[in-house]
Amino acid sequence: MKTLQAEQPQHWQELLQLFTYDFSADDKIEAAVREIIAAVRERGDEALLAYTRQFDHIDLQAHELRVPAGALPVARQQVSEAFLEALAVASQNITSFHQRQVEANWEFEREGVRLGQRVVPLAAVGIYVPGGRALYPSSVLMLAIPARLAGVQRIVMVTPPRPGGIDPHLLAAAELAGVHEIYQIGGAQAIAALAFGTAAIPRVDKIVGPGNSYVAAAKRQVFGMVDIDSIAGPSEIAILADETANAEWVARDLISQLEHDVEAKAVLVTTDATLAQRVAARVNELASQVARAAIVQESVQRYAAAFVVRSLEEGIAAINEIAPEHLEIITASPRLVAERITNAAAVFLGPYSPVPMGDYIAGTNHTLPTGRSGRFSSPLGVRDFCKHVSVVEYSRAAFEREHKHVETLAEIEGLPNHAEAVRAKKD
């Protein structure tokens, strides 16, 4: 873990570069994904099954793609009571937080003109839950619960198949979250199936959830045919701390995110040079000792830094510039500091609010913008599963009063038939 100094201009550039992520895929991945999508559009389930054999080394039949409803209660019997209890608490907290995001229809009247907005849930949503070595039942809750609260009538989960079937922890989470359909299919081929539909998997209107570079490329390529949430980059954490912070706790919090991926990013921004030295030394020491050490060591070497600033104001400016996915504020007055943070996806205040609390149990969503996109993007929420429909109703008197302005503007813009459409209705 390297140490950077705010007083050196080139170190500011290093900090920015650390959090800047290229969301484009390389040409080989884009071409491979384009071929997969075309094959699924043309050959449907046959292509899905062929790619499952090729990439996942599992031989399925079309009727086996969908997980039977009876598998869900069985899954509950295969997991621990402690897991079910944790899942229930997380679900309750996520529901409580996201219920407050539910929007109501509204309208108002202006001298014979009635205007309004209707909030309409999407009809069908696909949630992608990654496979690989790690399990993400928490992601099932984070993706499906807001969709359910929005009123989505068909929530479809896809996840890569495993020998022996989908892990029961994922199935238990899906049942609790209100998922309606589950398919054991992953990769770019799963995204293509959700976007265009096959005989076994009807299409959806939106796809959410993270995945590898092939999944990200597929989401990018099907966007427009369906909506997507975002293109997810590697996990990020920034900690803004002063001399009150505990170096051991800060080091552990940084490593908690570095274990996600060899490209995960972690930075300590601090006014205290001594804290920076102690945290960097401890992170370097722990990197070879913790679980998932191979991943942590590489991410520490490539993407971990302590950035020493000359004032808290300079630290706040640095945070707003890098727009981190997760921000912990561990200072004497964290709430006052938080009021000045404009670019961070999720903010955690004080030493007892580490990022893992938000990852799992607090209730806020852990599907967050990365790669400095927190400057213009928001966490996943109920609004992402809704459409907003504008409603316009003119009385005759209001039409007679305002149509002349339409004619004027339409003529200026060179659209005479717009003007004629209102002239035809004049007395």
Task: Please say whether the beta carbons of 144 and 175 come within 8 A.
Answer: no
Q: Which of 98, 325, 328, 366 is catalytic?
A: 325
The phi, psi pair for 121, rounded to 5°, reads -70, 150
First and final C-alpha spacing in the chain? 77
What is the C-alpha to C-alpha distance for residues 24 and 314, in angstroms, rounded to an integer?
A: 31
Task: Please say whether the beta carbons of 251 and 283 come within 8 A.
Answer: yes
How, if at all, do strands 236-241 and 265-270 pair? parallel
Q: Please give the distance of CA 86 from its chain centroid, rounded to a whole number.
A: 22
CA proximity to 39, closest of 50, 29, 30, 28: 50
Task: Determine whether 314 is an active site residue.
Answer: no
Task: Please say whether the beta carbons of 107 and 117 come within 8 A.
Answer: yes
Task: Determine whether 263 is an active site residue.
Answer: no
Label each residue of the chain as H, E or C. Answer: CEEEECCCHHHHHHHHHHHCCCCCCCHHHHHHHHHHHHHHHHHCHHHHHHHHHHHHCCCCCHHHCECCCCHHHHHHHCCCHHHHHHHHHHHHHHHHHHHCCCCCCEEEEECCEEEEEEEEECCEEEEECCCCCCCCHHHHHHHHHHHHHHCCCEEEEEECCCCCCCCHHHHHHHHHHCCCEEEECCHHHHHHHHHHCCCCCCCCCEEECCCCHHHHHHHHHHECCEEECCCCCCCEEEEEECCCCCHHHHHHHHHHHHCCCCCCEEEEEECCHHHHHHHHHHHHHHHCCCCCHHHHHHHHHHHEEEEECCCHHHHHHHHHHHCCCEEEEECCCHHHHHCCCCCCCEEEECCCCCHHHHHHCCCCCCCCCCCCHHHCCCCCCHHHHEEEEEEEEECHHHHHHHHHHHHHHHHHCCCHHHHHHHHCCCC
Structure tokens at 86: 């944790």
Q: Which of 169, 260, 326, 366 is catalytic?
A: 326
Q: What type of residue sits at position 275?
A: L
Q: Which residues are catalytic?
A: 325-326
